[in-house]
Amino acid sequence: MKDVYVFQRHELDWLTIHYGSEPTEKSDQIRTVIYATYTPARMASVEQLRIKKVVFESFGGTTHWPHEQIVARPTQMFLPDGTRDARDRDQPREMPEMTDKLLKLAGAKPY
């Protein structure tokens, strides 16, 4: 399996990019996707950066918008029956090195 797959132009449509499904009891793989989009930090309001910091510190995810419409979402995964997926984690298996560069890129530390 590759870490990155670059789609060819003829492969691109919204279904390809946004395909996914919830885990089931018989699933042996959890789908993880990281959308990396960047805009200048000056485009984000102080409030949006505050929310982005909270999301980053809880290992959560946001929308495709890096500077606005940032919403903190629940980070726990649940099965269709409402129970928490036993394979879910509250933090990564390998913790990232919290460098100044990472914290600034994540919006968790001002430039």
pLDDT attached to residue 97: 92
Instruction: Give the chain's domain count.
Output: 1
pLDDT attached to residue 19: 54
Burial 80-107 (b: 16+ CB within 10 A, else e): eeeeebeeeeeeeeeeeeeeeeebebbb
Range of 92's domain?
1-111
Using CB atoms within 10 A of its CB, is residue 77 exposed (0-12), middle (13-18) or buried (19+)?
middle
> Which of 43, 52, 68 is closest to 104 using CA atoms?
52
This model's pTM is above 0.85: no
pLDDT attached to residue 98: 92
pLDDT attached to residue 23: 63
Calpha distance 111→107 (Å, rounded): 9
Question: Which residues, given as ranges, of the chain have pLDDT below 70?
Answer: 1-5, 11-24, 28-35
59-91 pLDDT per residue, tens = 888 877 888 888 888 888 888 899 998 888 888
Return the C-alpha torsion angle 86, 19, 69, 92, nearest 10: 30
